[in-house]
Amino acid sequence: MSCNQVRQDFFYLGISIGKQKKGYQVKKLFKELKRILSIDKGAQVVVIGAGRLGRALSEFKLFKVRNIHVTALFDIKEDLIDTHIEVRGERIPIFHLDRLDAFIKEHRIRIAMLAVPEDAAQEILDRLVKLGIKGVVNFAPRILKLPKNAKNVQLVNDCIGASLYKIVYQIYHKN
């Protein structure tokens, strides 16, 4: 990528803090990129599924750097309910799935991550959309589809198995 292309990309994004042949002040550039990517706004997120994957997602170190805060986990397993996980000195509660609706409304949650078994995933996605969730990252081992009535909802199917199969295919079929 050339310097010219970088300048054009920054211009397209509305970044005009650099000077030609002088460069950019790195701290100002990072601040501006965070603003453009909405990292400066932060996000409150819930995780549905408090098993190993849900817990691992909640403990993801880059969330703190990217201003993403996991506020609670939800599950149906009785031995997990009303417990918590410890993430960098913060206690994140695990509630029963029955409390999801009230929690989302009370805390104005807009983003959820699914780490549930595949047979429950579509039903929970539909429920989240009805509750007004605007973004869902699906880690369930099933590709989900948004309900027809879903307006302005973003869904990312991040199936770990599919990603692994893609890599396996590329290794054995691409030269």
> Mind listing the pLDDT tens digit for each residue in 142-158?
899 999 988 899 999 98
Residue 173: inside a domain, yes or no?
no
Answer yes or no: do 84 and 16 share one domain. no
Determine the structural domain holding residue 23 and report its residue range.
3-36
The answer to whether residue 125 is domain-embedded is: yes
In a domain, 170, yes or no: no
Structural domain count, the chain: 2
> Are both 61 and 127 inside the same structural domain?
yes
Can you give the pLDDT at residue 100?
97
Query: For the stretch 100-129, what's the b/e string if a residue is b when 16 or more beta carbons lie within 10 angstroms of its beta carbon?
Result: beebbeeeebbbbbbbbeeebbbebbbbbb
Residues 144 and 60 in one domain: yes
Is the model's pLDDT at 106 over the cut of 80? yes
Higher pLDDT: 68 or 160? It is: 68
DSSP letters of 79-144?
A: TTTTEEEEETTEEEEEEEGGGHHHHHHHHT--EEEE---HHHHHHHHHHHHHTT--EEEE-SSS--
Examine the domain organization and report whether 48 and 109 are in the same domain. Answer: yes
Within a domain: residue 14? yes
Together in a domain, 123 and 70: yes
Are 124 and 159 within one domain?
yes
